[in-house]
Every structure is written in C-alpha cells, then in structure tokens.
Amino acid sequence: MTAENGGEESLAPVIPLFGATDAAPAEPTWHTTWDADSDDETLGEVELDERTQAEREIAESNLTRKLRTRQLSVSEARAVVAERDLDGDVVEAVIHDFRRRGYLDDRALAEQLVHAGVERKGQGRTAIAQSLAKRGIPRDVVDAALAALPDDDAERALAFARQKARAMRGLERDVALRRLVGQLARRGYGAAAMDAARQALDEQR
C-alpha cells in the first residue's frame, strides 16, 4: 500500500544484526540445552533430540533471514519460529536468545513505527496505535511510545488538511469537506478531522 491510504510500508531494521560491520552476519548458534541466565524469565533447559535440533536450526536460519530485510516484533518472530512445528518451550528458547542478543526489541520497533507514522505518513495517534497493534506489539509498549509524542494532533491535522485542500478548489464545499474529512479520518485524526477540514477550506476561500 502507499502512504496515501495509510498502509504499512517496509521499514529498515532498527537494530543492526550481528554487529555493525559490513561483513555478512553469521547464523545464530543453537544449543542442546538452554540456559536463561541473562533474562528475568527463567526458561530452564530444553532437551533436544536429533530431529528437533535440525528443526531449530532451520527456524533460527529462517528468522535470521527475515530480520536482515525487515525488523520484526517479538510476536511476528514467534510466528516465524513456530512454523517449524517446534514445541512451545523450544520456540520460547529461540525467541529468548534473539531478544537477549538485541535482534528483537519491541520498544525500538515501536519508536521507529511512531516516527514513520508521524513524519512520513502524516498519521494521527489512532492510526499509529492501530499500526503498532497489528504488528503484535504489546499495549504497554504502544502506550509508552505514543506518550513520547507531543499533543499536537490538531496542528498536524490542519497542516495535512491545508495541503490537500489546494487540490479541491474546484469542488463544491460540501463535496470537498466530505473528502477531506475522510482523508483525515483514515489517518487517525478522529475528532480533529472536521475542524481541520473546515478551517483549511475556509482559508482556501
């Protein structure tokens, strides 16, 4: 989708994979047992038979490949790993490993998506929140990322409405108003949409 309809755009990873050098990243290692010594969550040991070891290697390779092109949320990464039909504890061990290494970070991803929504797409809070929720980012992380935004939805809605109103000079006011309000609503401006549309059209007159 394009930025005009408020759709998602592909974003560059927010976390460099496997260091900041130009060399191709190595595949993450797997372990026959798992030691969760650097996370608050204790995963315990995961005993792997030969088949499960092979499946885990494939799952880690698939996840690494996807992360090279697009940053994933923890929820999205978990779905990628689960495609290999691994037991739940093995899936969580892989996710734990990638989070511990910094390859998965919902907070950093949320900050990037908020910035893209504001600066590149001209979105309001509602649309940004929906975008983050669709990526499986937890509600508390979404709320924290949005809390860092200034309370300027009305100003940004007006700026967007002024830009779009220039192309509606030949339309009847009611038609232009409906279209402009619709465009603002799709970008998540909610209550600010009508006031911004009216003001922008009044200024054009």
**Could you read off the pLDDT of 31-86 as tens digits, one per residue?**
433 443 444 444 434 566 788 888 899 999 999 999 999 999 999 999 999 998 88
CA-derived radius of gyration, the chain: 22
Write out the H or E segment, with its range, that includes residue 90: helix 88-100
Give the distance from CA 75 to its chain's centroid: 11
| pTM attached to this predicted model | 0.62
Alpha-carbon distance 4 to 20, whole Å? 34
Q: How much of the chain exceeds pLDDT 90, in percent?
A: 37
Averaged confidence pLDDT in the chain:
79
At which residue do the structure tokens 């949409």 appear? 193
Predicted confidence band of residue 103 (pLDDT cuts 50, 70, 90): very high
- Please list, residue by residue across 62-89, b when 16 or more beta carbons sit within 10 angstroms of its beta carbon and e when fewer do: ebbeebeeebbbbebbbebbbebebeee
